Amino acid sequence: MIQFSNVSKFYDEQIVLKDISFNIEKGDLVYLTGPSGSGKTTLLKLVYRAEHPDDGQILVAGWDVAKLRQKTIPFLRRNVGIVFQDFRLLPNKTVFDNIAIALRIQGLDPRLINEKVNDALNDVGLKHKSHALSQHLSGGEQQRVVIGRAMVSKPTVLLADEPTGNLDVETADIVIKLFKEINARGTTVLIATHNRELFMTSGRRVIFLRDSAIEKDIIP
Amino acid sequence: MIQFSNVSKFYDEQIVLKDISFNIEKGDLVYLTGPSGSGKTTLLKLVYRAEHPDDGQILVAGWDVAKLRQKTIPFLRRNVGIVFQDFRLLPNKTVFDNIAIALRIQGLDPRLINEKVNDALNDVGLKHKSHALSQHLSGGEQQRVVIGRAMVSKPTVLLADEPTGNLDVETADIVIKLFKEINARGTTVLIATHNRELFMTSGRRVIFLRDSAIEKDIIP
Amino acid sequence: MRAFLYSCQIAFKNLVVERWINLLTILSISVGLLLFTSYLTITLNIDTVIKRWGTGFGMVVYLGDGLSMETEESIKELLKQDSDILELKYVSSDEALKELREVLGSRSSILDSMEANPLPSSFELKLKRETLTPIYIEKKAARIKEMTGVEDVQYGEKWLSSLNTISVVMRVIAVLLGAAIFIAIAFITYSTIKVLFYRRKDEIETLKLLGATRSFIKMPFLIEGLFIGGVSGVISALSLFGLYKFTVMKFVEFLPSIRGLLVSLPLEAYIAIPIAGALMSLTGSFFATGRIRY
Amino acid sequence: MRAFLYSCQIAFKNLVVERWINLLTILSISVGLLLFTSYLTITLNIDTVIKRWGTGFGMVVYLGDGLSMETEESIKELLKQDSDILELKYVSSDEALKELREVLGSRSSILDSMEANPLPSSFELKLKRETLTPIYIEKKAARIKEMTGVEDVQYGEKWLSSLNTISVVMRVIAVLLGAAIFIAIAFITYSTIKVLFYRRKDEIETLKLLGATRSFIKMPFLIEGLFIGGVSGVISALSLFGLYKFTVMKFVEFLPSIRGLLVSLPLEAYIAIPIAGALMSLTGSFFATGRIRY
Ligand SMILES: Nc1ncnc2c1ncn2[C@@H]1O[C@H](COP(=O)(O)OP(=O)(O)OP(=O)(O)O)[C@@H](O)[C@H]1O
Ligand SMILES: Nc1ncnc2c1ncn2[C@@H]1O[C@H](COP(=O)(O)OP(=O)(O)OP(=O)(O)O)[C@@H](O)[C@H]1O
Ligand SMILES: [Mg+2]
Ligand SMILES: [Mg+2]
């Protein structure tokens, strides 16, 4: 589902990812970890073509990402749900609208959108904040809105970048359980995180990045 | 140094902080914790007058915060270093400039600024990223810039909101050690965090918020 | 279609959210359009005045003494064939004398002492306004003078060239000023939409990352531009009309003789103002949103 | 002082960073100023032309037949005392006859048959331009006509009122158009700075939280506005001069008789353009940055 073959990425002269290869099968749930600045976010960005690889090939859900035409990129992204590390919420819009926008850009029926968004709000426990502006939310609440938005369109691939950084342990548990449910329904999930508690005892595959390369790739 | 007396805060009709009273002495290092949405950030905002209490009195470093005149607010804030939960970096400015701005607004001598900023960069381990634009940093790097900026002016009070949310364990340790050092030099430090590892074994005072009120206040 | 409706919704929400900037823009564009259309109205008025003066000027063709009726008739026929000549009036020497008497008024007694009428017969011509370039009229006069039986041709040479200069100056200014104002309006539209676009840059970045297509992103801005331009156009059309009515009122009060002389732009022009505004704004928006790259 | 230098630094960095918006603004303001100053130049020229024409019009005071030298002299004295009269020219009946002969040209033989000169002596007056309101001149003419020895007073009534109308129209338009353009420029400046301010809203929020004072936040915008306005002013002053030179060149090529007739704004006005631009922009910036609340 997500296949990297000898991918390298530079920012200016600095190398950020060096000759990365791995293959995540459809239906997998994989953790990605590594110290601050090791390239986790960059790796995720390559998956949804927010960055272009300097070398190598990336296949995502059958798309050859590096060769995608500009016009096709939106359609790749509609198949990829993303929990951004920096949230990227629309500050002046309500929680409801922030989640709904992921469906509106696809031109879905308003009633269907309403239904799906309410489900997502329930999932992340923000039903009561539905009409609050996203800029008036607490850090943890914002993070859950992002998670809701990433899930609501039932994407083929779900990427989550530090999804529990602003969450207390109980809420983090709920979120991880959500990811597992989504994964069980067939979505491929890739979670970048520093939170060792999440993956140490999970019994799932963990990819360790260090110094621009894959240090370890533990497949249980 | 930070004294809350029967402080309450509402957003619209919703109560966020209810009759909060505590007193943090000069030179203390205190943790503030509680579930997502329990009011930690709001409490910190009251300290630096980004929010105005609806009831009660707040004393910070001798200032009666709620009664401060508009013109005086900047001078309160110069005495308070803040690690914002949402970073609030200037995206188009370099790491150096982002830290230096805290001193420039005070009209310091450029050479002195240079010296102090370089010290701060060393402290947070970002010397090598000095000339990078802050929007080109990884999440963890950005968080460290914010920490550097909050410390650089050697404030009387240091407030840190979820300062390790985007950091790996090693870097988090370094940051916490930094806070302790600053604290040892006389700065009063208040850290809001979900990260139990930080405070559970620290032997420091921990204030627990829940449902808009102080649930526990453990003073060792 | 659903996407279009949603775009409209976003556009109007944005119009409300950014109401101050949008209001300022609408006002600026209105003022710009108003300036331009006022200028057109002024030009139209000056042109009308010049036309009125212009047609008042003509040529007098003096005939030789004692010409036969046939010769006079043949000259008349020749002049009639000239399509540049609008009106042709025969003034017999008797009529000319009567006119001179009138001009001299109480002093006309000097004419009584004369034996014969010394004044020649003449044709008074009115020329088509379009042909009033000095060189052209000079040539025509020379040609007419060569006709047999014609003794002299007189016309307001100096006057003609002055009026002609005014007319040319007006037209040149019209083009220069018109172009300048158009450019100014285009700039305002473009820069405002650009700025609105910039202001929502973060939002647009996010939408792009969520899989929004180009048209989804651009559409609200285009609708917004269309709306801003259209509203500005309506405002300036209404203001222009109000200003025209007000000016006419004030002028008539001040100089009653001007009543009925000030002309307004035709109705078509008033209808064209909002359409032109909307199209200009739309074009501005189109370029301002630019090429969206993923 | 250090804060001011730092503000300048920020202002110029921002000018470079936001170069497109700033360029657009500078261009818009330049065009606006250029429009206004072009209009002033045009008005000045039209006014000059009207003045030239206006002084060409005068009054003819016809004297009665057979007046004594003393009476004529006393009339002359009376007219000379009138400060509205610029020039006074005595035309004797003989001179008048000579002029009539010239006018009649080859047909002047009719005059030969007359026994006595039927034409009266007259004074040709030139009036001060400022007094050329139709009503005023009408009154003056009536007053002069009542003087003993004066038989009739003639003056270009119709012409006078036309010219007068043009002049009044020009002035009214000047005020209306001038005000409109000023408002438009003020809007552009204000809205651009407002927008620049909005665009850095997040940054400003952050600065406020870090303890920046109001003046620290506002200063760069004021400097930026001052700079934008000044540069716009310089650009439009230069363009105006270029445009003037170009127009004069083109016109002279087209109508050589116009050489030396087109006037330019005085040097002071050229110097005033950038200053006015800078001040307007500064005012715009000042209001755009508004009252900063913590
Ligand atoms: N747009 C960019 N331009 C230049 N350098 C960049 C850019 N984005 C990231 N980098 C650099 O690339 C390196 C990897 O960044 P990345 O964001 O992938 O790290 P990360 O593993 O996500 O770290 P964190 O855990 O702190 O979020 C960092 O050193 C960062 O400074
Ligand atoms: N500006 C605001 N307007 C309205 N409600 C707000 C505003 N800011 C915060 N809130 C609400 O107040 C409550 C407390 O928010 P606060 O940010 O203080 O929580 P927190 O303890 O910092 O949570 P987290 O750990 O998730 O950051 C939340 O329910 C939040 O939605
Ligand atoms: Mg990252
Ligand atoms: Mg918080």
Contact A199, A193 (CB under 8 A): yes
Q: What is the model's pLDDT at position C151?
A: 83
Query: Cβ of C216 under 8 Å from any chain A Cβ?
Result: yes
Q: Report the distance separating Cα C234 and Cα C33, nearest Å.
A: 10
pLDDT band with cut points at 50, 70 and 90 for residue B105: very high
- pLDDT (average), residues D221-234: 91
Q: What is the model's pLDDT at position B81?
A: 96
Closest CA to B209 of B55, B42, B51, B48: B42
The number of beta carbons lying within 10 Å of the beta carbon of residue D8 is: 15
Which ligand is in closest contact with the Cα of B142?
A: 1
Higher-pLDDT residue of C123, B56:
B56
Q: Report the distance separating Cα D278 and Cα D274, nearest Å.
A: 6
Residue A138 Cα to ligand 2 middle (Å): 4
Model pLDDT for residues B182-198, shown as the tens digit of each residue: 999 999 999 999 999 88
Maximum C-alpha span of chain C: 106
- Which residues have C-beta within 8 Å of that of residue C155, sequence separation ≥ 6? C57, C58, C59, C60, C137, C141
Which mutation among B20, B41, B47 tests ligand 2's pocket best, with the greatest number of atoms within 8 A of CB? B41
Residue A41 Cα to ligand 3 middle (Å): 4
Q: Which range, B41-50, C106-115, C187-196, is most confident?
A: B41-50
Q: Report the distance separating Cα C82 and Cα C153, nearest Å.
A: 16
Size of interface C-D (CB pairs under 8 A): 116
SS3 of chain A: helix, strand, coil, percent, to 5: 40, 30, 35
Q: Report the distance separating Cα D93 and Cα B28, nearest Å.
A: 116
Residue with tokens 């050479």: B111
- Could you say which of C34, C115, C187 has the minimum Cβ distance to residue D31? C187
Least confident residue range of A186-195, A211-220, C8-17, D194-203: D194-203
- Which residues have C-beta within 8 Å of that of residue C47, sequence separation ≥ 6? C167, C170
CA distance, residue C292 to nearest chain A CA (Å): 9
Query: Cβ of D291 under 8 Å from any chain B Cβ?
Result: no
- Could you say which of D31, D168, D257 has the minimum Cβ distance to residue C184? D31
Q: What is the model's pLDDT at position C249?
A: 82
C-alpha gyration radius of chain C:
31
**Distance between first and last Cα of chain A:** 19
Model pLDDT for residues D273-289, shown as the tens digit of each residue: 999 888 888 888 888 88
D31/C109 touch (CB, cutoff 8 Å), yes or no: no
Cβ B123 under 6 angstroms from ligand 1: no
Residue with tokens 């990605």: A32
Residue with tokens 């800029």: A135
Percent of chain D residues past pLDDT 70, beyond the cut: 78
> In b/e form, how buried is each residue of C40-64, taking b as 16+ CB within 10 angstroms?
bbbbbbbbebbeeebeebbbbbbbe
Residue A42 Cα to ligand 3 middle (Å): 7
pLDDT, chain C, mean: 79
Structural domains of chain D, ranges and CATH numbers in brackets: 2-52+167-291 (no CATH), 58-154 (3.30.70.3040)
Provide the token pair at C43.
């030009």
Closest CA to D53 of D153, D157, D129, D108: D129
Alpha helix stretches (DSSP H) within chain A = 40-47, 73-77, 95-104, 110-124, 139-152, 169-184, 196-200
Which mutation among A94, A126, A137 tests ligand 2's pocket best, with the greatest number of atoms within 8 A of CB? A137
Least confident residue range of A125-134, B110-119, C61-70, C93-102: C93-102
Model pLDDT for residues C43-76, shown as the tens digit of each residue: 788 777 666 655 555 678 888 877 888 888 888 8
pLDDT band with cut points at 50, 70 and 90 for residue D104: low
Model pLDDT for residues D235-261, shown as the tens digit of each residue: 999 999 998 888 888 777 766 666 667
Q: What is the model's pLDDT at position D13?
A: 85
D residues 13-52 near B, CB within 8 Å? Answer: 17
Model pLDDT for residues A55-108, shown as the tens digit of each residue: 999 999 999 999 999 999 999 999 999 999 999 999 989 999 999 999 999 989
D3/B70 touch (CB, cutoff 8 Å), yes or no: no
Q: What is the model's pLDDT at position B215?
A: 94
Which ligand is in closest contact with the Cα of A45?
A: 1
Cβ A36 under 6 angstroms from ligand 1: yes
A162/B162 touch (CB, cutoff 8 Å), yes or no: no
Closest CA to A62 of A51, A71, A75, A43: A75
Q: Report the distance separating Cα C116 and Cα C107, nearest Å.
A: 18
D residues 207-226 near C, CB within 8 Å? Answer: none
Q: What is the model's pLDDT at position A158?
A: 97
Is the pLDDT reported for residue C186 higher than 80?
Answer: no
Query: Cβ of C103 under 8 Å from any chain D Cβ?
Result: no
Q: Atom 1 in ligand 1: which residue has the minimum CA distance?
A: B136
Residue B18 Cα to ligand 2 middle (Å): 14
Query: Cβ of D31 under 8 Å from any chain C Cβ?
Result: yes
* Beta strand residue intervals within chain C, DSSP E: 58-63, 85-91, 122-127, 150-155
For residue C252, the chain D residues in CB contact (below 8 A) are none
- Which residues have C-beta within 8 Å of that of residue C249, sequence separation ≥ 6? none
Is the pLDDT reported for residue B113 higher than 90?
Answer: yes
Query: Cβ of A34 under 8 Å from any chain B Cβ?
Result: yes
Percent of chain C residues past pLDDT 70, beyond the cut: 79
